[in-house]
């Protein structure tokens, strides 16, 4: 079972993601801040992280940079409330980008695509 780390400062969004993604067969761990996310990453292995770009009092992009630096083998999907970040350089560091929506189909498809890509990469190695 793939382990996902969901980072979002909104409790209800974390709850929604957790419920929906568990239904898809993932093990979901949530974090409300960058510090909590980094803390949970210590000693644990995650297959993928879903990260909100705008966290309370901190930038998700900065957290993305830390995650890529420290856990470069863990793919990250960015979630944002608005689409303009999609074409922003800073967001290109992520493996996927999804605009937040009540319809989580796109997010689920993106998670599936990124994990499949990761699995293919591991197989090639």
Partner 1 sequence: MNQECCWNREVIAAGECPNIGDDDKSLLSSLRRRVLEKCCDCALFKQDLVRFSESRHPLAPVFSLIHAEFQQQKTQIQSLASFLDNKTLEMRFMHELGSVLQSSVDLDEVLSVALTAITAGKGFGMNRAFLLLTDREEGVLHGYFGIGPRDLEEASQVWNEIAQNDMDLQTLAQNFRLNKLSAERAKFHNVLEQLTVPLANKDHVIIKALDGRHPVRIEGAFQHPDVPPELARLLGVDTFLLMPLISRNRRVGMIVADNCITHRTITDEDMHSLETFGFPVAFAIERASLYDKLQVELNRVTEAGKKLKEQQEVIVKMENMALVGRITSSIAHSVRNPLMIIGGFARSMLKNSSASDPKRTFIESIVDETRQLEGVLDEILNYSDSIYPTRDFWDVNQLIETALRDSADILTSLGYATGYSPGHDLQPVFIDFKQLSYCLRTILLNDIGGIGEDRTLAIFSQSGENVVTITIEDRSRHISQMELDRLLVPFSETRDLGTGLGMALCKTMLEKQGIPLSVQADEHEGLHYTIVLPTRKEEQP
Which of the 8 DSSP states describes residue 107?
H
Question: Taking Cα atoms as reference points, which of 74, 65, 68, 63 lies closest to residue 38?
Answer: 63
Q: Which of 1, 12, 25, 73 binds partner 1 (CB under 8 A)?
A: 12
Q: Does 24 bind partner 1 (CB under 8 A)?
A: no
Angstrom distance (rounded) from CA 43 to CA 61: 23
Binding piece for partner 1, criterion CB under 8 A, among 32-40, 43-51, 63-71, 94-102? 94-102
The CB-of-39 to partner 1 minimum distance in angstroms stands at 24
Contacts of 30 by beta carbon, 8 Å cutoff, 6+ apart: 5, 6, 7, 8, 14, 17, 18
The CB-of-103 to partner 1 minimum distance in angstroms stands at 6
Q: Does 124 bind partner 1 (CB under 8 A)?
A: no
Binders of partner 1 among residues 34 to 63 (CB under 8 A) are 54
């Amino acid at each position: 079972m793939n382990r996902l780390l969901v980072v979002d400062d909104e409790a209800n969004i974390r709850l929604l993601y957790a419920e929906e993604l568990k239904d898809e067969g993932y093990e979901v761990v949530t974090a409300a801040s960058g510090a909590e996310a980094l803390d949970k990453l210590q000693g644990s292995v995650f297959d993928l992280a879903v990260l909100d770009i705008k966290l309370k009092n901190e930038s998700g992009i900065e957290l993305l940079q830390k995650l890529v630096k420290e856990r470069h083998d863990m793919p990250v999907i960015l979630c944002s409330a608005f689409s303009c970040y999609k074409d922003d350089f800073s967001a290109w560091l992520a493996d996927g980008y999804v605009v937040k929506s009540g319809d989580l189909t796109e997010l689920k498809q993106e998670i599936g695509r990124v994990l499949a890509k990761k699995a293919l990469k591991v197989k090639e190695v």
